[in-house]
A and B are shown apart, each in its own frame.
Chain A
Amino acid sequence: MSRKTTTAAVAACLTGVLALAACGGGGGFDNSGGSGATQPPASGPVTITFMITSNGPADVKLQQDTVKAWETKTGNKVQVVAASDINQQLTQGFAAGSPPDVFFTDANVFPTYAKAGNMLAYGDQLDMKSDFYDGLVKTFTYDNKFYCAPKDFSTLALIVNTDLWTKAGLTDADVPKTWADLETVAKKLTTGGVKGLVIGDTRDRIGAFMKQAGGWITNADQTQMTADTPENLAGLQEVQKLLASGSTAYPKGVDSGWGGEAIGKGKAAMTIEGNWIKGAVKNDFPDLKWKAFELPEGPKGKGTLSFTQCYGVASASKNQAAAVDLVKYLSTAEPALALAKGLGVMPSLKSAGDGYKAAFPDEAAFLAGAEYAQGPVTVAGMDPVLKDFDTQLQGLPGADPKAMLARLQKNGDAVLK
């Protein structure tokens, strides 16, 4: 083959590659409209893609049923898509310029999406804005813009296996009110193969102890790390003490994926989990008899954590007006309550609180936590730092909690600086 032909062929190949690359780039999704820009409404009925996370077909059906009224009213269609790995699927959608119109956004990933400009800040268009719990609105505010409507929320409570509780000779009067009480009952409930208390080995559970001791990872407006403090240390030391006493274990220590599984399998008498435990127990461990109580108080009073998701609307969506309208509908009392009841979570609307209480008098402990719950840290870029802290916490039985907090402080400072 002559040199000339080779060169020409190589050139042709390269041109081909570049052309392919250009095709990839020329898809017309240049997204020059910023995150706040609303695109012109499409005329006529549209189909809204709605990506949700679910625990099974029942959740998907519930979501489909809830949007039906809106479909009839507006003539639009909603296609509910259950994601298997929502983060990855959304990321691909954002990159391709074709994300779902509406999607569940967890508070953890919200700042990353908002910072990258993937989300439409439609919060101020919502007339029910003042009816949302303030903490939830704050969670979904980034750069002083209220981005998306909180869907619902959950708080942590102490979940007790009532059979084991009575078997150990405990009564309602023994429900732990303080850390000392918790140590005592955990010890009493520990027998052979059963641990008194099983708690998840992440900040999302252990953080409650830090809160009860008067600390938290950041200050209130998330501008400074407040990790390396005596309060947080006291919280971690309490967990360390519980673990060392043998009455408490991490889920992995009893061959479980999480606290709910541990208590469901009868390997734990108590665990600290949120509202989601209800659905999980109903599906996987229907025979378990359980009750939820408020978490015991620490030296600085009550403390629990809250978790929430919002209805994200994509800034690249072509049906933004309809998407926001759908969210508005879902954020009214009736569908919100229907969803909350079906999923076992609490509606994000204050006005729906009474309806929830009436429907679930036994789960008042979760709702009681809403008053003083600490929301998750929502700073863009903080997620790896918090995950690193989780990794450290896994070593808590043996390792030095002070060093963990110092490490968290250092890594967090680097993000916030």
Chain B
Amino acid sequence: MRRGGSARASETRSGWLFVSPVIIVLGLFLVAPIVIAFWVSVSDWNGRGSPLSSGVSFVGADNYRQLLTEDSLTRSDFATSLRNNFYYVLIVVPIQTVLALALALLLNQRRLKGLSFFRTSYYFPSVTSSVAIASVFLFLFAGGGSVNALLGIFGIDGPQWFADPRGVLHIMLGWVGIGGGADGAGPAALTSRDFLGLTWWDWLSGPSVAMLTIIALVIWVSAGGYMLLFLAGLQNISADVYEAASIDGASRWRTMRSITIPLLRPTLFTVLTLGLIGTWQVFDQVYIMSKGNPGKTTLTPAFLSYDQSINNGQWGSGTAMSFVLFGIIIVFTAIQSLVLRDRDASTRGFFGRLRSQPIAAPPQHPTSTTGPTT
């Protein structure tokens, strides 16, 4: 051991040497800003001079306490933004994942002609500037825009998409006789109680009509990107497995359920994780298309945090918001990985059963897994 020790130490040294550029870059552009932002969230910095200068003092959890416990406009705005973003995530993540998977399955067929054309065109939105796409959507969904013209052909009088703050869930609840629809008052049982300064009824509004346009845009943009991930995952699945399945007489649906999806689980995990993180952080579409309007129904925590810091000069509560958002993302990702984790074959859950299939593990290269010989 002793003899090998020095060889090891020099290896370690060169190891650190090789990773040091990355560590420095990450430290400078990732770790340091996060640490400083956290400091701002527990300080009384007002945006003047450096947050680390002597005039700035530590205020403990005051910013967090004010944000989460004091009845104020900031708190109800923050609650509104959380509500909006929650519905946004709830709709975007499943749809974009399913759509991406469906597109990938379509494009994975070997008989399809013009494969690379479709692959490129589906991926195109993901590599186009979000600013440009958002501007195009502004035109499409304008009151007299193409979408409403299309709806007009079918005799539907389309809404003023970007000016419509009505909550979709409120509208639907109105249909079944709960509450007075989008503009009317909610049932007293729900309006009399509140959480974070927002009544239960307001929490139940669902995404607004304006938010739906942003949702449509984001799904359209990101599905292509995730499709590429699924496609890569699909192409990693060995043809032998499918062959074996077809010899066993498995139907297409059965093959899909028992082979494709289980073998795609790592990709699915990646797509869902990236999707969750990305959707909770939605900013640029809001910044360009709506700035939180109409009726604050497209306000998201990321945008509110920016607005609170840059425009209102409330840096403490602005950064506190972003750290609360960080916590939310962590919690959601943890829940998601718990649901998708590798269970024992004995577990009778949907994913557990799928897992019991023999898996074609990535080819193992014996040389790469053994350590240096000492």
A interface residues with partner B (beta carbon < 8 Å): 1-2, 5, 9, 13, 16-17, 20-22, 24-25, 27, 29-32, 87-88, 91, 94-95, 97, 109, 112-113, 115-118, 250, 252-255, 316, 381, 383-385, 388, 391, 394-395, 398-399, 411, 414
Known: A252-B160, A394-B165. A17 touches B52 (CB 8 A): no
* B73 CB–A CB distance under 8 Å: yes
On whether the beta carbons of A250 and B27 are closer than 8 Å, the reply is no
Beyond A21-B52, A30-B49, A255-B142, 16 additional contacts (C-beta under 8 Å) are A9-B16, A17-B35, A21-B32, A24-B32, A25-B53, A31-B49, A95-B48, A95-B50, A97-B50, A116-B46, A118-B47, A252-B160, A252-B162, A384-B312, A388-B296, A414-B73
On whether the beta carbons of A394 and B295 are closer than 8 Å, the reply is yes
B interface residues with partner A (beta carbon < 8 Å): 8-9, 12, 15-16, 23-24, 27-28, 31-32, 35-36, 46-55, 72-74, 77, 142-144, 160, 162-163, 165, 183, 293-296, 308-314
On whether the beta carbons of A27 and B50 are closer than 8 Å, the reply is yes
Q: How far, in whole Å, are A316 and B312 apart by their CA atoms in the complex?
A: 20
| Shortest Cβ distance from residue A199 to the other chain B in the assembled complex, whole angstroms | 14
On whether the beta carbons of A395 and B165 are closer than 8 Å, the reply is yes
| Shortest Cβ distance from residue B7 to the other chain A in the assembled complex, whole angstroms | 13
On whether the beta carbons of B52 and A24 are closer than 8 Å, the reply is yes
**Nearest residue in A to B299 (C-beta to C-beta)?**
A391
Task: Name the one of A88, A254, A316, A381 contacting B49, with C-beta atoms under 8 angstroms.
Answer: A316
Task: Name the one of B31, B32, B293, B313 contacting A394, with C-beta atoms under 8 angstroms.
Answer: B293
What chain B residues lie within 8 Å of A398 (beta carbons)?
183
What chain A residues lie within 8 Å of B163 (beta carbons)?
250, 252-253, 394
On whether the beta carbons of A5 and B9 are closer than 8 Å, the reply is yes
What chain A residues lie within 8 Å of B9 (beta carbons)?
2, 5
Q: How far, in whole Å, are A94 and B310 apart by their CA atoms in the complex?
A: 11
Task: Name the one of B24, B52, B55, B294 contacting A31, with C-beta atoms under 8 angstroms.
Answer: B55
Task: Name the one of B28, B47, B50, B313 contacting A25, with C-beta atoms under 8 angstroms.
Answer: B50
**Nearest residue in B to A398 (C-beta to C-beta)?**
B183
Q: How far, in whole Å, are A32 and B47 apart by their CA atoms in the complex?
A: 14
Known: A17-B32, A20-B32, A116-B313. A414 touches B72 (CB 8 A): yes
18 CB < 8 A contacts A-B: A1-B8, A1-B12, A5-B12, A24-B50, A25-B52, A95-B49, A97-B49, A112-B312, A250-B163, A252-B163, A252-B294, A253-B160, A254-B143, A388-B77, A391-B295, A394-B294, A395-B295, A414-B72
On whether the beta carbons of B36 and A31 are closer than 8 Å, the reply is no
What chain B residues lie within 8 Å of A97 (beta carbons)?
49-50
On whether the beta carbons of A16 and B55 are closer than 8 Å, the reply is no
What chain B residues lie within 8 Å of A391 (beta carbons)?
293-296
What chain B residues lie within 8 Å of A30 (beta carbons)?
49-50, 53-55
Task: Name the one of B16, B27, B144, B296 contacting A17, with C-beta atoms under 8 angstroms.
Answer: B27
What chain A residues lie within 8 Å of B77 (beta carbons)?
384, 388
What chain A residues lie within 8 Å of B35 (beta carbons)?
17, 21
On whether the beta carbons of B312 and A383 are closer than 8 Å, the reply is yes
What chain A residues lie within 8 Å of B50 (beta carbons)?
24-25, 27, 29-30, 95, 97
On whether the beta carbons of A13 and B47 are closer than 8 Å, the reply is no
Q: How far, in whole Å, are A25 and B228 apart by their CA atoms in the complex?
A: 43
Q: How far, in whole Å, are A79 and B165 apart by their CA atoms in the complex?
A: 44
What chain A residues lie within 8 Å of B46 (beta carbons)?
115-117
**Nearest residue in B to A381 (C-beta to C-beta)?**
B312
What chain A residues lie within 8 Å of B165 (beta carbons)?
394-395
What chain A residues lie within 8 Å of B36 (beta carbons)?
21, 24
What chain A residues lie within 8 Å of B162 (beta carbons)?
252
| Shortest Cβ distance from residue A360 to the other chain B in the assembled complex, whole angstroms | 34
Q: How far, in whole Å, are A244 and B183 apart by their CA atoms in the complex?
A: 15
What chain B residues lie within 8 Å of A2 (beta carbons)?
8-9, 12
| Shortest Cβ distance from residue A256 to the other chain B in the assembled complex, whole angstroms | 10
Known: A30-B55, A32-B55, A97-B50. A252 touches B310 (CB 8 A): no
